[in-house]
Amino acid sequence: MSFSSDVKEELVQQVPGARHCRIAELTALLLSCSTEWTPYIYLRTENFRVAKKFCIFVYRLFGVPCQVRVRTYMEHKNATVYEAVVLDEEISKQIRQACKLTPENGLNYLVIQKDCCKRAFLRGVFLSSGSVNNPEKSYHFEIACEQLWLAEDIREILKFFEIEAKIVQRKKYHVVYLKEGSLIVDALNVMEAHKALMEMENVRILKDVRNQTNRKVNCDIANINKTLTAAQRQLEDIRYIEQTKGFGSLNKGLRQVAELRLQEPELSLKELGELLEPKVSKSGVNHRLRKLSELADEIRQGKTSISD
């Protein structure tokens, strides 16, 4: 199964103990699915888990079993649709009253007054209309809504938990989405998908370690290349001096460094300094090599003076 399916499977198993939380999550399912009241309830979804959880809530809240039918509808491009049906007019009315749903309004905020109810509502809308990418590939979390007001309500609930989401239009849907790994982890935590959260955190840690390692390796490679380039330039300058003026024109200190660098082109400045007699510090060796480069430039420009 995909990571998104794993998250939803975990959320299906979570049935709140409190009645108000069950009503909040049931409300989320009714609002985010294709729901028809005639006056019975017909909840249609392409996800069997959604139909299953809807029936669990109806039974535990109202003591009435509901039927799940398998249908195909043209508007769903002939995909398999699961239709959860409550064929009891009085119970349908009680469900609508409990969820405070009327034809004129959307989400009634009295249903999600408590923090735990907000969590339950987010669980419901994600289970119905959400998805999350495999964190090993990319970070992306979204909930697609047909109604703009529902997308805005979801964004506000996420904001309550200090999760800043954005909304984008995609065909007929208004998509609430998150792109940052840390925010997606927070969203999973809010919905209480703790197993998926731990899996994503492990992936994020491995990614961070891998990225840090790559940055360090790239930095080391850049430093090595820089050092090799500098050493190559030093060798070219020293050979140029040897071929034009000769080492006899150099003072003792510069001649020692020049001859040693030709003999040991791969040694570091510190290692070169330790081989000199007397020993010279890394900065001292660097100073002498810089002097040799300056001298080579002077010779190239027609200046013949020798610097100490």
The arithmetic mean of pLDDT across residues 239-258, rounded, is 86
Report the distance separating Cα 192 and Cα 204, nearest Å. 18
198 or 79: whose pLDDT is higher? Answer: 198
Are 200 and 138 contacting, i.e. CB atoms less than 8 angstroms apart? no
85-108 pLDDT, tens per residue?
Answer: 998 899 999 999 999 987 667 889
pLDDT at site 104: 63
pLDDT at site 188: 94
Model confidence at 74, pLDDT cuts 50, 70, 90, reads: low
Least confident of 11-20, 211-220, 297-306: 297-306
Report the distance separating Cα 46 and Cα 174, nearest Å. 19
Distances (CA, A) of 288 to 23, 32, 79, 147, 284: 81, 75, 79, 74, 6
Q: Does residue 29 surpass a pLDDT of 90?
A: yes
Asked whether the whole model's pTM tops 0.75, one would answer no
155-211 pLDDT, tens per residue?
Answer: 999 999 999 999 999 989 999 999 998 899 999 999 999 898 888 888 877 877 777
Model confidence at 275, pLDDT cuts 50, 70, 90, reads: confident
pLDDT at site 169: 94
Least confident of 73-82, 126-135, 299-308: 299-308
For the chain, the structural domain boundaries read 3-192, 228-300
* DSSP state for residue 46 in the 8-state scheme: S
Rg (CA), the chain: 36
Please list the residues that pair with 207 across neighbouring strands: none
pLDDT at site 308: 39
Q: What is the DSSP string of 49-62?
A: HHHHHHHHHHHHHH
Model confidence at 303, pLDDT cuts 50, 70, 90, reads: low
Model confidence at 306, pLDDT cuts 50, 70, 90, reads: very low
pLDDT at site 187: 95
70 or 119: whose pLDDT is higher? Answer: 119
Q: Does residue 25 surpass a pLDDT of 90?
A: yes
**Cα-flanking dihedrals φ and ψ of residue 140, to 5°?**
-160, 125
Least confident of 97-106, 221-230, 234-243, 283-292: 221-230
221 or 250: whose pLDDT is higher? Answer: 250
The arithmetic mean of pLDDT across residues 257-261, rounded, is 85
The arithmetic mean of pLDDT across residues 227-238, rounded, is 80
CATH homologous superfamily, domain 3-192: Homing endonucleases (3.10.28.10)
Structure tokens at 228: 């090799």
State the chain's mean pLDDT as an integer: 87
